[in-house]
Amino acid sequence: MLEWARFLLCAALLAAGLFFLLTALLGVNRFRFVINRLHPAGIGDTLGLLLLSLAAVVYAGFDQVTVKILCIVTFFWITSPVCTHLIGRLVRETDKKQFEAEAKEWKS
């Protein structure tokens, strides 16, 4: 009985993680400007990775592999927002005309 509960929890976490990653994929393809694409990409990666990693933790149980998975997730959570911010700043600095035109379009 405990095996089935563990299997169902693992399957639910995998399904939820895949749902968020696919939703982020659709969100990235829906927007046309780079700055608008950063939000679904950042959120989808972070939440999808968390759920998929939790599924791996539930499947493996608590051991050395779990600690490694949690270290990978922690590293990704630190680097992903920094990379997203830097990409946004790079776009703002290198393509000022397109950035200002897009800002005016969103304001109106």
pLDDT of residue 15: 97
Domain ranges of the chain: 2-107
Given a contact cutoff of 8 angstroms between Cβ atoms, the answer to whether 17 and 10 are in contact is no
Given a contact cutoff of 8 angstroms between Cβ atoms, the answer to whether 54 and 13 are in contact is yes
pLDDT of residue 20: 92
Burial (CB count <10 Å: 0-12, 13-18, 19+), residue 14: middle
pLDDT of residue 5: 92
Pick from 12, 84, 9: which is nearest to 45 by CA? 84
pLDDT of residue 80: 84
Mind listing the pLDDT tens digit for each residue in 66-95? Answer: 888 889 888 988 888 888 888 888 888 888
pLDDT of residue 22: 92
Q: What are the residue ranges in the chain where pLDDT is below 70?
A: 106-108
